[in-house]
Structure 1
Amino acid sequence: MITTTARTTKSELVARVADQAGTSAATVERVLAALADAIGADLEAGASVTLPGLGTFEARDRAAREGRNPRTGETLQIAATRTPAFKAGAPLRRRVARA
């Protein structure tokens, strides 16, 4: 069953996957945790992770930049950083476009 709320919680997602896969929610929780850990480790090592039909996870470098404190208007330097990013694959993009 697809929820009608604008946001699906982790527990709702786990319950749906467990139901569709015919397995326990505890097993899905462990798989989800292992998946997140594996993707995080690969991104940390500089590799990207591609899941065909879903998309690609990658780490992107963000350059240092100048910002402003919205309260005081003071200019400040924002340090360069690496951030995780996700690029949806074509099947997922098409599915969302139909919705």
Structure 2
Amino acid sequence: MAKPLTKTQLVAALAEELDSDKKAATAALDAVCNIITREVAGGGAVTLPGVGKFYLKERPARMVRNPATGEQFQKEADKVVKVTIAKALKDSANDE
């Protein structure tokens, strides 16, 4: 498995893809990340075509167990961010 791209590497690749400088690519990446964060935190969803859909899911209160002690306790309801991967991305991963 290859190492994941760092933000610096992603910005450099984005700048090259857009024929732009790294400062503009950083601003564009930060803007996209901020929009996704704001929308999902507000209960909405964001779909990146060809990549996937980011959304917020509410989990009900439930009983959980501490694996170290075996103690069971009630965990309050909470929210988690989920990502559904687009079929195009899944298919491209299997083509290589």
- TM, length-normalised to structure 1: 0.82
Report the counterpart of residue 48 of structure 1 in structure 2.
45
For structure 1, the residue ranges without an aligned partner over 5 or more in a row are: none
Shift of 1:95: 0.7
Q: Secondary structure at the match of 1:43?
A: helix
Question: What is the percentage of aligned positions where both structures have the same residue?
Answer: 30
Q: Distance in 2 between matches of 1:32 and 1:63?
A: 34
Pick the aligned partner of 1:85 from 75, 82, 85: 82
Q: How many residue pairs align between the two structures?
A: 96
1:16 is aligned with what amino acid?
A
2:73 is aligned with what amino acid?
L
Q: Secondary structure at the match of 1:83?
A: strand
Cα distance per residue 1:55-75 (max 9 Å; x no partner): 211111122222222222111
Q: Distance in 2 between matches of 1:94 and 1:26?
A: 33
Report the counterpart of residue 21 of structure 1 in structure 2.
18
For structure 2, the residue ranges without an aligned partner over 5 or more in a row are: none
Q: Distance in 1 between matches of 2:80 and 2:29?
A: 21
Moved over 3 A (4+): none
Q: CA RMSD in A?
A: 1.7
Report the counterpart of residue 59 of structure 1 in structure 2.
56
